[in-house]
Amino acid sequence: MAESVVQAGSSRGGALAGIKVLDFGQMVSAPYCAKLFGDYGADVIKVELPNGDAARRAGPFPGDISHPEKSGLFFINNTNKRGITCNVSSTAGRELFLGLLRWADVLIENNLPQQMRTWNLDYPQLQAANPNLVVISITPFGQSGPYSAWNGYDLNAFHLSGASSRYCGRPGEMPLEHGTFSADYYGAIAGATWGMAAVYGRDLVGGGQQVDVSCAEVIAASFVGSQNIGLVAQEGYFDKRTGVGMPLGAPATILPCKDGHVWMLALESGQWAGLCKVMGDPEWATLEMFKDMNTRAQNADILYSFIQEWTAEHTKMEIMEKCQAAGCPITAVFTIAEAAEQPHLQARDYFVDIEHPDLGRIRNLGAPFKLSASPGGPVEPAPRLGQHNAEVYGRLFGLQTASIASLQDQDVI
């Protein structure tokens, strides 16, 4: 196998240049995990079944017209990858996939464990194909345990962790769902982090290993762990939803203003003094009931009605800029459109424009983690379905054009 000729990621440079990755996932978690590798220089090949990643059918689409090459969800999670198709259900397709495994350092997948077993691609078989391979498996509930075979998605993982019951919704009312795909993205970042640890630890442990990422456990660790699980274990009770704001300190809430809303936070004495100064040092702020954050929280309804009289007369940017200048950590609550034009994010080069053959020139999010010597970020657009079949199968396997066409005719690729 002529692996030296397939180093697309390395040609871009970056901290992960030289690492070879297969993305064998769909939708969000595995593709985003692989994108993080690709955005920082790894050579990533996305392997799709012949009908493509389900994200190609998920949208959003320009004009709300479904098109497999125009899905916003697919586009944003698959930059800096080459794309091939492979029907691993067929004998010939599975052999091609095993050949790809022998080329790779890392396989990233988010298929249910029983699906991987059906394809004869569970971890023992992957390990047999390439003992040095690091396998990052990202699923809602992990590779073991009674729920590991359950169907599930991002929201299933999130709700199972207790996070929605604790945080999403108003007190005494039914829990709500969170912003979409949080569990998948958290799982992806955790998978990339510890997948890299496994890559660099191969010499220490004598080869590759499987990184078993349960999105539910990642959410439990990062959302509910420190402030909730310990309390249950030590005291036998747990906190419940508080809605907007904090029960033990104020002001700490979202308030309406002249053109939207602001996140209002002024707990420390200096912050409170700064806010009062910006508001013109109103007489009510000197009342005993507002002397510290605890008494302000006990009288939050009264406090917020006073503050809201002031915020209603000012815009969100005016409030944010004046309060920040006074040392008070208050920020505007932006809409998506406002965030996309936000000058701070633009100044940090967080937005990049990428040319796509079907979407045209389109704005994308840049690198979420900035490395000073090798910043990373998306450069190449997401691949069309099977775009690099000829390049990858031709160079990796030495297949001629006629052979590749025959594989396509047989639905192998």
Q: Are 262 and 317 in contact, with CB atoms under 8 Å apart?
A: no
Q: Where are the alpha helices (DSSP H) in 5-71?
A: 8-12, 29-39
Distance CA 215, CA 188 (A): 8
Please report, for the chain, the start and end positions of each structural domain, with discontinuous segments joined by +.
20-223+353-410, 252-335
Which amino acid appears at position 126 of this protein? L
Pairing of strands 20-24, 331-332: unpaired
Predicted pLDDT of residue 62: 94
Q: Are 387 and 82 in contact, with CB atoms under 8 Å apart?
A: yes
Superfamily of domain 20-223+353-410: Crotonobetainyl-coa:carnitine coa-transferase; domain 1 (3.40.50.10540)
Q: Is the pLDDT of residue 2 over 50?
A: no
Q: Are 82 and 5 in contact, with CB atoms under 8 Å apart?
A: no
Q: Are 395 and 4 in contact, with CB atoms under 8 Å apart?
A: no
Q: Residue 227 — very low, low, confident or very high, per pLDDT cuts 50/70/90? A: low
Q: What is the pTM of this model?
A: 0.91
- Reported as a single tens digit per residue, the pLDDT across 315-339 is 999 999 999 999 999 999 999 999 9
Order of strands across the sheet that contains 252-257: 252-257, 260-265, 331-332
Give the 3-state secondary structure of residue 214: strand
Q: Are 130 and 101 in contact, with CB atoms under 8 Å apart?
A: yes
We find that the CATH architecture of domain 252-335 is 2-Layer Sandwich (3.30)
Q: Is the pLDDT of residue 229 over 80?
A: no
- Reported as a single tens digit per residue, the pLDDT across 27-73 is 999 999 999 999 999 999 999 999 999 999 998 999 999 999 999 99
- Reported as a single tens digit per residue, the pLDDT across 164-203 is 888 888 888 998 888 789 999 999 999 999 999 999 999 9
Question: Residue 410 has which token pair?
Answer: 């047989």
Q: Is the pLDDT of residue 6 over 50?
A: no
| 35 Cβ neighbours under 8 A, 6+ residues apart | 44, 77, 78, 79, 80, 81, 378
Give the 3-state secondary structure of residue 400: coil
Distance CA 363, CA 346 (A): 12
